Structure 1
């Protein structure tokens, strides 16, 4: 029996996939895994039996990943589950940045009470809300992951020219990208060659203030910047100064901060990117499936702190040892010397300072787990 703690409301479409061997809810004690959306876990203390945390979403800034790695807790996310929802909002943001739609709507409300004169007033006043079409303009996409690819492909379909950059783009993602998208050699090369810029990268020390005053100065005059990824990627002080000078025509973001709220030519949304029932269901399903696969078989899919690793079971009679350990030389050799059965299958992968090894053993003594755990550098051992 596995206990799953839910820290936020998780779609029942996902939790319904948890079988009869699972107990879940917001009052579960001594959980084997945690399902979370936005709740902060940085101040939480984790019981020794906690094995996994699954974020029903892409970002994991609310989870202490380093602490989890040290304690042998796998942190999962659900990349791509909300990609379509975010893509649609980004396209909406591009249109809002161009056509002065929100300004026109607000102005139209002021005409209430003018009776039959409203029609003439509309025709007379609409010229103040003229804005450019997207077709023929150049969109720059920083980050060609699950969301960035969908945005780029959609922009091509709308008749835009698209340039993009992603130093970590995988082969599967490259194959999904429309061939009309021109790949650049750097973030800067994208940013200086576009009329619209959209950013789809995680917030890290390397990406903080990716768009700052120096970079904005190199961009085209009247550029329109969209940030639906993370607060901190765009330096708000720099973008506000650029809006005042006219260097930047519009800034659209899904992350409101006090300094940009209500400012002219800023459209700020209340983090609506994944706020669709379809997205919440997709994230919940993926999170639950990943947790079940790890708890039941030890396989890791979409972890942000341990390597992706999946090993098919060789025989029902085999004992599976799942070993989380430091990524250091000779350690795995020491682990294998502590196993008393015949190793039928094994897979080991590393990610940074940490590694994970699955070993299927015929005729194993489950007491071997204690001997493996005693090896210097081993963080955690599970027997399945």
Structure 2
């Protein structure tokens, strides 16, 4: 059949270029130490930055939520699916992370991808120009495309280039959109400079803090709190399936912005709400994140980050200067990257290979994702394995 042959040819081409992606099956809960494909392994692949995904308090809260609210929401938020658990989660998020605007309000979503689609399509449209960082996440790229706005890409983290683009724009509505922490490089956007530009040009600044929320800033309140920023121009997006260890996401902004999203954001209006039990567990996670235990987990993670930075600098490969839990090691070639990941796997270490189109061509890498669940012994094992692989690869 011609249609199937076309797909088979495409799959074969991906395989030839070292771009085939394969799923692995986790047999145990997400944690630093897991059983994957039937083998014990130390995982450096997940975004469970605080090690909360299997925390007893969260699993208990999830079970309690299911007993109280059932297994599913039964409908969209506007048609019967908005439970007391969702409302409480939004109140908790606004209280914890809403200090960057007056009259803060939060709106919960089933995934971070849906949250980004919703915010961009609701705040931008024809007559709007979206200014997007070159390394923004795929969900922001797709949201910009769906918004039907003009999209201008500014060089990664380059506030001066963005300033020139804004100066040259005559759009009636301008929207600047950026990751807070960039998922493949682990660096942080120049948020103070971006906000100054947003205020100067009367633009929105949308910050997707999927990889900073829970980890950065006082009480894990994220990149805006870490930078001490406050402005009605800000719209903040956080994910609850990474450091928070549960699932879902939220947008936070001035109450007027959130009400506009409720009325106009199609991915919110026409999507079944997430199970209330998940929202109930997410509220329990917020309490943990803001607690002394959360502070202790962030402090331990900071130690792991500095130890890993020193380890990767000593290798033959090219580390990116990241001060976050995302620690990439650029290899360049796809096959060489896959080979390094396979050698790590043989050592009982899951260090995933990241290749195009997730990253630019020629910058394939392995990415070490750290968790507060890791120990110094885990890092010592990773360091020893990389030293052995490094020595074997040298002439």
Q: Calculate the TM-score normalised by the size of structure 1.
A: 0.32
Q: Calculate the TM-score normalised by the size of structure 2.
A: 0.31
- Structure with more of its chain in strand, by fraction: 1
- Structure with more of its chain in helix, by fraction: 2
Q: Structure with the greater relative contact order (CA < 8 A, sep ≥ 6): 1 or 2?
A: 2
The structure having more radius of gyration, on CA atoms, is 1
